[in-house]
């Protein structure tokens, strides 16, 4: 018989302690609603559930981020909506000014309103902001820099990007530069060429360029004729210049040369009322052809684009010396200043653009750039920083209509891009909500207590 140790009592006490500990844990679980309150409850389950909790909270914050991004986009798009309204009013004014029932005083009043509207477009571009971030002044636009053989041929206006243009390094290969259509003189004779500085042409006639008639008077000098031609260049698409003979006998003599304003275009020149000798004296047609098309020398630019990985991008549009590629990059100014067969390296940077964190993890973001939307960027600026396109003459007003149409198109493109981003973010929010909901259910199965089992 042993009296120092009561084994039955020790066993009873141990079982009681175990029961009390289990009851305490169950009470803790029931009161907290959690199956895992400390690592000892389920070490692996705790680690897994904490990782899931981090993802869940990240997804919920990403959803809020996307909602904030939508608010920013709506701010920018709302401002551009007002810019659209201003441009429509400017176009209406340009159409009004293009009517020759308007007097000079009438057109001045129209011009005054145009100038004020231009200034308001600049104000909108420079002051529209969200959370102290300016949206339309170019601060968050993609930047483009160039280097290489022909880098000096371009400036900041030589390129344009869209939202689909990914950041990276691109190589533009210039296969053929664009050329303007030109019409040179016929056989130039030293005895019949006029010196524009002192001589008059001495005959009358009519020069028709793309349907626009230009009267030549006997008292006109070549300088006068050039001025008449250039005054109608907005309507004809052709500009004139005084040329000089190429051999020693002609080195001091002058003649008129005509050039199409647009690259890759053509124009029709017709002369009436002049003799062969008089045509030769003007130097704008040969002895037999008085209806000449400026098309032989006019060609569109040809270029290719590749990225650093060697991927090539198709050309989707060519307009004279401007080429637009499928990735949204537009290269302008591919004319005589760019040598055929040369290349330029273009770096598109998104350093200044906006990054929206729309996921729970690193690099789960989208990038947004908004182009500068002031008057200069839209092409509706005048000769000073406060004036708009001139509508002070019929020719100016008619040209302004086309320019404003282009500006409206630019704003439409930008608004469409912003709308697409907004729609995308709305779907992102829905997807984030679904992901967070299902991940929460999985985390609950690990972390939450089963009342029926504990009770």
Q: Using CA of residue 36, residue 39, residue 43, residue 46, what is the dihedral sign?
A: positive
Q: Domain end: 246, 264, 293, which one? A: 293
Answer whether residue 387 shows pLDDT above 80. yes
Predicted pLDDT of residue 215: 75
CB atoms within 10 A of CB 219: 10
Average pLDDT of 144-150? 58
Predicted pLDDT of residue 198: 41
Answer whether residue 65 shows pLDDT above 90. yes
- Do 267 and 233 touch, CB atoms closer than 8 A? no
- Residue 249's pLDDT band (boundaries 50, 70, 90)? very low
**97 shares its domain with 186:** no
- Do 180 and 299 touch, CB atoms closer than 8 A? no
Mean predicted lDDT score pLDDT of the chain: 76
pLDDT in tens, 404-451: 999 999 999 999 999 999 999 999 999 999 999 999 999 888 887 776
pLDDT in tens, 88-131: 999 999 999 999 999 999 999 999 999 999 999 999 999 999 99
Predicted pLDDT of residue 303: 76
Answer whether residue 19 shows pLDDT above 90. no
> Is 46 within a domain?
yes
> Is 117 within a domain?
yes
Residue with token string 């008085």: 290
Side-chain half-sphere CA neighbours of 389 within 13 A? 29
Answer whether residue 63 shows pLDDT above 50. yes
Nearest-angstrom CA–CA distance, 412 and 401: 16
pLDDT in tens, 186-220: 333 333 334 434 455 555 667 777 667 777 776 77
Q: In which domain, by residue range, is 256 found?
A: 180-293
> Is 110 within a domain?
yes
**420 shares its domain with 364:** yes
> Is 160 within a domain?
no
Nearest-angstrom CA–CA distance, 391 and 399: 9
Predicted pLDDT of residue 252: 46
**136 shares its domain with 188:** no
Answer whether residue 330 shows pLDDT above 90. no
Nearest residue to 36 via CA among 23, 27, 49, 24:
49
Nearest-angstrom CA–CA distance, 256 and 273: 18
> Is 53 within a domain?
yes
**73 shares its domain with 136:** yes
- Which token pair is 396? 């100016």
Predicted pLDDT of residue 232: 76
Question: Where is pLDDT greater, at 30 or 292?
Answer: 30
Q: Domain end: 250, 277, 293, which one? A: 293
pLDDT in tens, 302-320: 777 787 777 777 776 676 6
Residue with token string 């060609």: 299
What separation in angstroms does the CA of 60 have from each of 67, 273, 359, 424, 432? 11, 81, 9, 17, 7
**285 shares its domain with 198:** yes
CATH of the domain at 217: 3.30.70
- Which token pair is 5? 């140790």
**187 shares its domain with 289:** yes
**123 shares its domain with 189:** no
CATH of the domain at 121: 1.20.1330.10
**194 shares its domain with 127:** no
**372 shares its domain with 453:** yes
Question: Where is pLDDT greater, at 12 or 246?
Answer: 12
Predicted pLDDT of residue 331: 73
Number of folded domains that form the chain = 2
Predicted pLDDT of residue 336: 58
Predicted pLDDT of residue 128: 95
> Is 308 within a domain?
no
Predicted pLDDT of residue 18: 81
Average pLDDT of 156-168? 58
- Residue 290's pLDDT band (boundaries 50, 70, 90)? very low
**131 shares its domain with 192:** no
What separation in angstroms does the CA of 253 have from each of 37, 191, 247, 281, 356? 100, 10, 10, 11, 66
> Is 320 within a domain?
no
Q: Domain end: 293, 318, 334, which one? A: 293
What separation in angstroms does the CA of 117 have from each of 81, 103, 282, 328, 380? 14, 21, 45, 30, 10
Residues with Cβ < 8 Å from 310, sequence gap 6 or more?
none
**220 shares its domain with 286:** yes
**108 shares its domain with 188:** no
Nearest residue to 77 via CA among 428, 426, 416:
416
């Amino acid at each position: 018989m042993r009296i120092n140790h009561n084994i039955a009592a020790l066993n009873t006490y141990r079982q009681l302690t175990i029961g009390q500990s289990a009851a305490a844990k169950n009470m803790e679980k029931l009161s907290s609603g959690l199956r895992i309150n400390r690592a000892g409850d389920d070490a692996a389950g705790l680690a897994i559930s904490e990782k899931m909790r981090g993802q869940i909270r990240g997804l919920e914050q990403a959803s809020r981020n996307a909602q904030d991004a939508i608010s920013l986009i709506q701010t920018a798009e709302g401002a551009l909506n007002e810019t659209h309204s201003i441009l429509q009013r400017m176009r209406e004014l340009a159409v009004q000014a293009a009517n020759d029932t308007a007097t000079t005083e009438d057109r001045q009043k129209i011009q005054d309103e145009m100038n004020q509207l231009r200034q308001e477009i600049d104000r909108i571009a420079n002051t529209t902001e969200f959370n102290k971030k300016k949206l339309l002044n170019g601060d968050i636009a993609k930047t483009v820099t160039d280097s290489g053989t022909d880098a000096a041929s371009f400036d900041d206006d030589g390129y344009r990007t869209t939202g689909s243009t990914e950041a990276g390094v691109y190589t533009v290969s210039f296969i053929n530069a664009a050329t303007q259509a030109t019409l040179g003189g016929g056989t130039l004779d030293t005895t019949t060429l006029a010196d524009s500085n002192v001589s008059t042409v001495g005959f009358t006639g009519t020069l028709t360029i793309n349907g626009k008639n230009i009267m030549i008077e006997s008292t006109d000098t070549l300088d006068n004729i050039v001025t008449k031609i250039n005054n109608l260049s907005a309507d004809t698409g052709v500009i004139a210049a005084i040329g000089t003979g190429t051999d020693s006998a002609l080195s001091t003599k002058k003649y008129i040369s005509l050039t199409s304003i647009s690259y890759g275009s053509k124009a029709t020149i017709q002369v009436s009322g002049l003799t062969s000798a008089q045509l030769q004296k003007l130097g704008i047609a040969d002895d037999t052809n008085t209806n000449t098309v400026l098309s032989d020398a006019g060609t569109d630019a040809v270029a290719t684009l590749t990225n650093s990985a060697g991927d090539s991008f198709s050309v989707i549009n060519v307009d004279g010396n401007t080429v637009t590629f499928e990735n949204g990059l537009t290269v302008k100014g591919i004319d005589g200043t760019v040598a055929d067969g040369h290349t330029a390296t273009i770096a598109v940077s998104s350093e200044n653009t906006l990054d929206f964190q729309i996921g729970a993890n690193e690099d789960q973001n989208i990038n947004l750039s908004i182009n500068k939307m002031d008057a200069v960027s839209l092409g509706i600026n005048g000769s000073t920083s406060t004036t708009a396109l001139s509508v002070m003459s019929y020719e100016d007003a008619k040209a302004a209509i086309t320019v404003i149409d282009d500006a409206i198109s630019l704003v439409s493109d930008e608004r469409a891009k912003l709308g697409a981003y907004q729609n995308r973010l709305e779907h992102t929010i829905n997807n984030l909500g679904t992901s967070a909901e299902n991940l929460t259910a999985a985390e609950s199965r690990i972390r939450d207590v089963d009342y029926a089992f504990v009770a």
